Amino acid sequence: MTECPAPIQGHCDPRFAGVRAAFEANFRERDELGAAVAVRIGSETVVDLWGGWADAGRTRPWERDTLVNVWSTTKGPAALCAHVLADRGLLDLEAPVAAYWPEFAAAGKGSLPVRYLLSHRAGLAGLREPHRVAELYDWELTTARLAAAEPWWEPGTRSGYHALTYGFLIGEVIRRITGLLPGEFLRQEVTGPLGIDFTIGLPEKEDGRAAELIGPRAERPAGEQAAAGLKFTPVALAALGNPVVGAAEANSREWRDAELPALNGHGTARAIAELYGILARRGLADDRRVLSTEATERAREGQGSCRDLVLGEALGRDTEVALGVWLSGAHGSYGPNPRAVGHDGFGGSCGLADPEAELSLGYVMNRMGPHIVDDPRKMALVEAAYAAL
């Protein structure tokens, strides 16, 4: 066996030596460049490893506090904000969105409940009219277009992954209730008080800590790059390609300045494990209660298994979304417990929560892989973590 070609640092409980071995194997065998992984059991961090390089030129080692854009792994913390408000009695997940955001009632959406926003069942997976990247950075414009939009399908009947729109939809409800964009609400109510190193967007003063994202290798087979035959139906094109965003955008200062609660969370693996750990510990973060036990159970309630209208053809299987996270299900995306939950990010990152095992896991990296979900690097780490239990 060849030696791991990247410096690995941090600590790993001997019981979880298999996680370290899998992490090292990701560098040797799975094209890892720079990455970090953290595993928590209850309130104890049993794995906190990082290694490799924070840039394509391999001039900056990945450090303990290196931050990276985690794409859709951001959706879990964004949904957490809504669950905090619901737990406080300020948001009713069964109430119409229009009760908080009156303009949303346009195009027959007056009775659409908040729950559908959290579960990708609102029918607003993408905008029909062209939406440029610069317009994605304009909160008022994007939310106004979504408020006026007609659903692609009858809300509540199917799920269709709201890749880009998710954060604007639930985020505007949060803003209407609190007066704060979700990133600021998360900072004031969760990450700030708990000292969790995670932000939606990234302040310019933190640029020196940010890893450079690198897109999937161009020489990968075309079929693999196309994610195993994703059929670009009109709704899939709108959801995933209006606008097209990738590593170049995510490395820009304009992206980091924007409020994109579905896409531009920046953090460490440790922070992801801590945030998803709130669900794993049924509402606790260390000795503080962030959510009631009932709220965490509600967040994990499956909303019905189906073939997703955006991702289903590529995945080739049914999936089940809960309220802001996805269920592991029979496929085992988040380990062998079908009621474990998590969220993958574009290119490979992941947050996972399993309350039955009191396990949470965060994985972040800068070389993006081609898989829509279940990146082999992530799956190797998840399997190793469960093997240690």
Indicate yes or no: pTM above 0.85. Answer: yes
Mean pLDDT of the chain: 95
Task: Please identify which of the residues 43, 72, 292, 333 carries the catalytic annotation.
Answer: 72
Query: pLDDT category, 38, cuts 50, 70, 90?
Result: very high
Tokens of 133: 């990247």
pLDDT (0 to 100) of residue 167 = 99
Cα separation, 388 vs 44, whole angstroms: 15
pLDDT (0 to 100) of residue 225 = 38
Q: Check pLDDT > 80 for residue 222.
A: no
Average pLDDT, stretch 194-213?
99
Q: Check pLDDT > 80 for residue 232.
A: no
- Quick check: is 328 catalytic? no
- Specify the higher pLDDT residue, 359 or 216: 359
Q: Check pLDDT > 80 for residue 229.
A: no
Domain boundaries, the chain: 65-78+184-373
Instruction: Please name which of 330, 274, 263, 278 lies closest in space to residue 302, comparing C-alpha atoms.
Output: 330
Phi-psi region of 99 (alpha: psi -120 to 50; beta: other; left: phi over 0): alpha
pLDDT digits (tens, 9 = 90+) for 287-333: 999 999 999 999 999 999 999 999 988 888 999 999 999 999 988 99
In the chain, the percentage of residues whose pLDDT exceeds 70 is 95
CATH topology of domain 65-78+184-373: Beta-lactamase (3.40.710)
Tokens of 34: 């720079």
| Cβ atoms within 10 Å, residue 61 | 16
Q: Check pLDDT > 60 for residue 228.
A: no
Cα separation, 66 vs 54, whole angstroms: 8
pLDDT digits (tens, 9 = 90+) for 83-124: 999 999 999 999 999 999 999 999 999 999 999 999 999 999
How many Cα atoms are found within 13 Å in the side-chain-facing hemisphere of 162? 33
Query: pLDDT category, 231, cuts 50, 70, 90?
Result: low
Q: Check pLDDT > 60 for residue 81.
A: yes
Segments in 152-233 forming alpha helices (H): 166-178, 182-186, 192-194, 222-225
